[in-house]
Structure 1
């Protein structure tokens, strides 16, 4: 079934699996989704991920290992899509929002690739606000 917003679908899969306390979630592969997942891993919101192809299908998949605290509380308490296909949101370097006073992250698509808000400020690069994670 075709999806109008693949990034939004990925974020919803992560949110739902995290709330349901699943150990892993399978997401259809794309370069943009893979870069977002790499950022989430670097920031400590997910455990690990594996990209694998299934025989007989043209689409690869990403299996994401979710991360939980010692009391089984999820590392991702909130994940929200900011820029949607119907309304794109862009931010200059001085307008990049802080999430929960710096406790969360914003993920941006910039001319220098997919970056976290703090890294985008360091590199003085604005771009499209993809999502916020806390």
Structure 2
């Protein structure tokens, strides 16, 4: 079976029912293919850690439905973390001078703004 393309659902269901060893071989093959095609070592390390965690959860002997719910909860927690980080990035930066805390801040000075259209190069 070609590891570069995921078989359709009916084929995967057939493998799960009739040939779980073949399904496991396909899973490992596709996991290794993804890891091998990841050029960034930091990303690859995180993917290897995730694959290890998934394998450890599978070895705990849970039922398939229980594993599905567990993985779904893990993904939702990670999405929550990513969502929080995204919101942090999207928050406006508040400078100390904007909060009214002007302690140890240099005094503001005014500046004359000269439009480029009126700017003359010195001779």
Q: Same fold (TM over 0.5)?
A: no
TM-score of the aligned structures, taking structure 1 as reference length: 0.27
Give the structure with higher Rg (CA).
Answer: 2
* Higher strand proportion: 1
State the TM-score, normalized to the length of structure 2: 0.29
Asked which structure has the greater RCO (Cα within 8 Å, sep 6+), the reply is 1
